[in-house]
Amino acid sequence: MGKLTITKTPLAGILLVVPQYFKDSRGFFVESYNKKDFSHAGITDEFVQDNHSKSQKGVLRGLHYQYPHAQGKLVRVLKGSIYDVAVDIRIGSPTYGKPFAVTLRENDPAMLYIPVGFAHGFLALEDDTEVMYKVTDLYYPSGDAGLLWNDPDLNIPWPLDIIGMKEPILSEKDTKHPILSELRSPFTYV
């Protein structure tokens, strides 16, 4: 047990992580996190907090980041499905301002690893979607920041039409984030 399949994405640092998945007539078993296996795969972050959210279909959470207590994330879906998006906001990165998106689903062990330096958000594609994600620093409300989800320069193809909606359900906070051209990112590409 404990083997991971790691797939690199077009954005340096963003990884699709798939642990072994054992399924039979009784159900399934997956070891979703094993520090030793992740370290061998090159993900050496220390995760210090687990977050769990539940969202109705059409809820869009994001695009969020935190500074100065920046957070790397490991995102997985426990129930339902999400359209998960990370946007590179590292100054000097060859992919600065570029998004990467993937659909994550229950009964599929795939997870998205998002290192520090990316804004992150997701759209719930089903009612009662539950997302669990590990983070590398604690949450500090004073460091809460974001990027506007529908910035035309990002051109993120949120699949609202597929779920029969014209607009997502947003928190008030998520309607007020800056667009990329107004962003003064605290992150630098290394």
Q: Which of 64, 65, 120, 177 is catalytic?
A: 64
Q: How far apart are CA 81 and CA 110, in angstroms?
A: 12
Catalytic residue check, 21? no
**Residues 173, 11: Cα–Cα separation, whole Å:** 27
Q: Is 133 labeled as catalytic in the residue annotation? A: yes
166 φ, ψ (degrees, to nearest 5): -95, -35
Active-site residue identified among 40, 133, 139, 177: 133
* Catalytic residue annotation: 64, 133
